[in-house]
A = this chain, B = another copy of it.
Amino acid sequence: MQLSSYINQILPLADITNRAIESAFVPVKFSKTQILIPEGKISKEMFFIEKGLARIYYYNESGKDITYSFFTEGMMLTVAESFFGQLPSRYNIESLEDCEMRKITYTDFEMLLKTYPETEKVKSQGLLEFLLKATDRIVTLQFLSAQERYDLLMKNYPSIILRASLGHIASYLGITQETLSRIRAKK
């Protein structure tokens, strides 16, 4: 999906606003396993993925690397609280494949908000989408079994399951690699 269709599907905007947004997002490429946003830093940029796969992750108290979430084509990639709130990020963002993205800086984003007030609505609408995903995730983790969580991911994001590594998927689901491997072997 293109950035323009992504924005329009969130909220239809005047042509001039659309063009301003388009040109505020500049192309960037990343190779596999680059850190786009490191833990502890304020996110100065937000990304829209045109091609590739990335994840947000953190290290838990015992130092284990835990995937918080995956992002792929047509998704807006950002640690929302850090970018929108300009707070230090508690997570890292890492590319898992060679990626083609578009990025916007926070400065340019603020400029858009000032110049085209209707973008403020894109912001709230965007935040709402992140919130919807987060609440889904909570319900999933609260009471589904490992198998059910896997099936759900498979149903909603089959491409992630095909492209991400076993270990990353397992920690995303809140289970160990061994358990995930056995779930897969079973069917």
Contact = CB atoms under 8 A, between A and B. Distances in A.
Interface of A: 58, 60, 64, 66, 68, 80-81, 84-85, 117, 120-121, 123-125, 127-128, 130-132, 134-135, 137-139, 141-143, 171, 174
Contact of A117 (B81, B117, B124): B117
Nearest to A138: B137
Contacts of A80: 128, 131
A128 B80 CA distance: 8
Contacts of A171: 142-143
27 contacts: A58-B139, A60-B143, A66-B139, A68-B142, A80-B128, A80-B131, A81-B128, A81-B131, A81-B135, A84-B128, A85-B125, A85-B128, A117-B117, A120-B124, A124-B124, A127-B127, A127-B128, A127-B131, A130-B131, A131-B134, A134-B134, A134-B135, A137-B138, A138-B141, A141-B141, A142-B174, A143-B174
